[in-house]
Chain A
């Protein structure tokens, strides 16, 4: 009598854990650091540099005053650079639909975010929406971004995006030095 209960408990529940295992796992898949470094140095670094140049062009006087009021919430934690980069990239994807920001600037921001996630083999918590953005980037047309709103006096979102970009850049540099050792 005891044997069916034993087999049921062992072989019945255990498969459920195996099936449900991917759901509770991390959102990033472990990738070879050498591959990550090569892709960053040869491809992603150039796109981040282009994004920084574009960020410098879109200066906003509001950003100087409010920088100290709302410091950046993104930190590049030691031994958790991948997690930090994932959070930054996923946060940048939300600006894709901010019409107050320049269309080309939003497009390049989304590209950098998607490439970061692709290199690290991570995905965002809000998977469905972010995945849609990266899929849209594969389309040759930028019409999906929509029209840009007239330029306002102060753009808080632009300031926030510029700070996030700067944080992303510095975190990538830190991570590169770490994996190059």
Chain B
């Protein structure tokens, strides 16, 4: 009986020992060990990965509400290959920090007081990550898209763990306005111009945070702010208005140009661009254009006020007739001079128009040309000259029934009133009376003889 009692006692003791060893080291937790003085204490920590090459940092802050103890130390313990390694954190400006290397195993942060039990808290350094602050904000305005392109940088781009594991938040606001935020996993964002106020100044800043897939944590500090000013006018709208105006003006000018071209094409434009080459045949036809058949000309005697005009019934060779006028009559002489002076002009003009007119027979002396005598009929008319002492009847010759101009008063040396005129050769004489025998069939002399006779007659005058 006694042996059974000893055996059972030994068994109980051994069992107790085994239970104690197999249970392993049990870390003291804050839940198990609570102290009245440590109930209000809390430890807030965050980690910064790869802060210095391969080294990481742990920064903790102890919130003491009731304790006013400055001698507080924080220790960080970690288990490496089943061995517990502890380090004391350095105190700096109210916070505690520690550099460490391993981030795979959890860390136990304990507050060690002088008299109290340590208050510990287990932290996973990959879940309390606070990234480094972004930097290098660059704002570019794209006119074609009317948007602001914002780019920034982060130190983790060149590091291992947080390279593509961050979310970035961009905050912007108008001057003294409310902040608006945009989140992106990339290092760039866009601000649409239509969502911004024209002419206003804006402020932009950026911060980062782990994306939460494996690494968790808190927002980093805000980066330094950058400013930009929105353009006063909508650049795209302004350019659009300009395009519309220019297009409208262009169409109007084009329309006006077309109208002008169509209007002045034949009259002005075509002669300048394609001038008509002068045609000699047409030009001559225009110059030598014969008057119309019923070409009527009016002769107003009043326009020739200084000239004494005698109205006649027929057209005769006026130049030759005027040369036969007597010089005794001053009026007649003046007229004769004027007529003689003008006879040359008339002679030329008459010669140009019709040579047959100059070749008309002359009533005073001379030898009528043969070709004119054949067709002329002369009549004797009483003298119509006024103021003339010589009331000599004259004859009016007509050609082919057409009355010709008066050839002048008839003068005859003989007293005979015989109307018959005997042709005489030689120079004409005023005392010579020459009559034309109508229808006597006598042909006149040559044309040259007529002109010679007339010229000699003028000389005698």
Contact = CB atoms under 8 A, between A and B. Distances in A.
B80 A39 contact: no
Nearest to B100: A138
A18 B15 CA distance: 11
A8 B7 contact: yes
Contacts of B18: 15, 18-19
Given A42-B161, A43-B161, A138 B101 contact: yes
Contact of A138 (B7, B82, B102): B102
Interface stretch (A69-77, A110-118, A150-158, A163-171): A110-118
A19 B18 CA distance: 7
B54 interface: yes
B185 to A, nearest CB: 16
A135 B104 contact: no
Contacts of A115: 102, 104
Interface of chain A, helix or strand or loop or mixed? helix
Contact of B80 (A3, A11, A119, A138): A138
A15 B14 contact: yes
B269 interface: no
Contacts of B104: 39, 43, 115, 118-119
A67 interface: no
B161 A19 contact: no
A8 B99 CA distance: 54
Interface string A109-137: 00100110111000100010011001101
B4 A4 contact: yes
Contacts of B54: 111
A4 B3 contact: yes
Contacts of B85: 135, 138
Nearest to B80: A134
Contacts of A111: 54, 101
Given A7-B7, A18-B18, A19-B18, A137 B101 contact: yes
Given A4-B7, A11-B11, A123 B82 contact: yes
A100 to B, nearest CB: 23
A84 to B, nearest CB: 19
A39 B106 CA distance: 13
Interface string B14-44: 1100100110000000000000000000000
A130 B80 CA distance: 11
A131 B80 CA distance: 8
Contacts of B244: none
Nearest to B163: A46
- State the 5 A-B residue pairs at the shortest beta-carbon distance, nearest first: A46-B160, A42-B214, A118-B104, A11-B11, A131-B81
Interface of A: 3-4, 7-8, 11, 15, 18-19, 38-39, 41-43, 46-47, 50, 111, 114-115, 117-119, 123, 127, 130-131, 134-135, 137-138, 140
